[in-house]
């Protein structure tokens, strides 16, 4: 059994671009062109951890295995590889787009086999749009990913700075409350004491269990 964990792609378009150039060259049959696109799609899907899209597989949840001749395991569904990949991937992801292209080829081949020119035109148009979209997404995926990482990094830095500032403000409030309480206690015993002398006394007698570090004497003087 296999399990699909993730989708990994390079940002290269050379293979599909080569197919596009091949299709413009003329003197190539639809059968040969579709077969070439199928091979490229199969490579994309197998590189992502899925089965050959042209083969049938047994699957249960995200687990799958190839159908062996004469094998009839119970409790598992049977689907074409492309249909399983499409059902297990999110819309607009490379895997989902690739599986949709393969599905489009299946529909186009069926229309060609039946000689239905309306369906041939429609499915050929849809397939062309799908391949162009897939190529565009692969071409720009790396840049989009980098931008998202940059935006996420900036957001995390901003959030981290805000959290650090909030913690700093909370600690400042805490030590000021301690300093003012100690200053009031000292003033009750020494009403004529100056702020400097009170700050020196607070600094020397700062409680060990205060939970915050003792600020500088001059800082205490300014706070009281």
Q: pLDDT in tens for each of the 224 residues of the chain?
A: 555 544 444 444 555 555 555 555 454 566 788 888 888 888 888 888 888 888 888 777 777 777 766 666 565 678 888 888 888 888 878 888 899 999 999 999 999 999 999 999 998 998 888 888 888 777 665 554 545 554 565 555 566 667 767 777 888 888 899 999 999 988 888 888 898 899 999 988 898 877 777 888 888 888 88
d(CA 142, CA 17): 17
Q: Which helix (H) or strand (E) holds 207?
A: none
Comparing CA positions, the residue from 102, 101, 7, 5 lying closest to residue 61 is 5
- Hey, what are 51's tokens? 């089965």
Give the contacts of 161 (CB within 8 A, at least 6 positions apart).
none
**Which neighbouring-strand residues pair with 50?**
none
Total residue count of the chain as it appears in this document: 224
Q: How far is CA 118 from CA 112, 113, 130, in A?
A: 10, 13, 18
> What's the DSSP call for residue 56?
E
> What's the DSSP call for residue 192?
T
d(CA 185, CA 221): 15
Q: Which helix (H) or strand (E) holds 3?
A: strand 2-3
Give the contacts of 163 (CB within 8 A, at least 6 positions apart).
none
Q: Residue 70 burial by CB count (10 A; 0-12/13-18/19+): exposed, middle or buried? A: exposed
From the centroid of its chain, how far is CA 203? 52
Position 122 scores a pLDDT of 93
């Amino acid at each position: 059994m296999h399990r699909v964990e993730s989708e990994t792609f390079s940002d290269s378009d050379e293979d599909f671009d080569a197919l596009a150039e091949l299709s413009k060259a003329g003197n190539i049959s639809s059968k040969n062109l579709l077969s070439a696109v199928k091979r490229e799609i199969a490579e994309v899907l197998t590189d992502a951890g899925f089965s050959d899209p042209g083969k049938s597989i047994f699957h249960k949840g995200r687990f799958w295995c190839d159908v062996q001749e004469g094998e009839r395991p119970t409790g598992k569904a049977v689907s074409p590889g492309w249909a399983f990949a499409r059902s297990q991937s999110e819309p607009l992801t490379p895997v989902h787009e690739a599986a949709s292209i393969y599905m489009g080829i299946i529909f186009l081949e069926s229309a060609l086999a039946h000689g239905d020119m309306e369906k041939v035109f429609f499915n050929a148009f849809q397939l062309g749009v799908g391949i162009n979209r897939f190529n565009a997404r692969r071409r720009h995926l790396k840049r989009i990913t980098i931008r998202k990482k940059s935006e996420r990094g900036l957001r995390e830095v901003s959030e981290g700075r805000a959290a650090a500032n909030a913690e700093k403000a909370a600690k400042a409030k805490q030590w000021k409350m301690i300093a003012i309480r100690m200053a009031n206690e000292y003033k009750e015993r020494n009403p004529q004491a100056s702020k400097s002398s009170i700050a020196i006394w607070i600094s020397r007698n700062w409680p060990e269990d205060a939970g915050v570090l003792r600020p500088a004497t001059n800082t205490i003087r300014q706070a009281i």
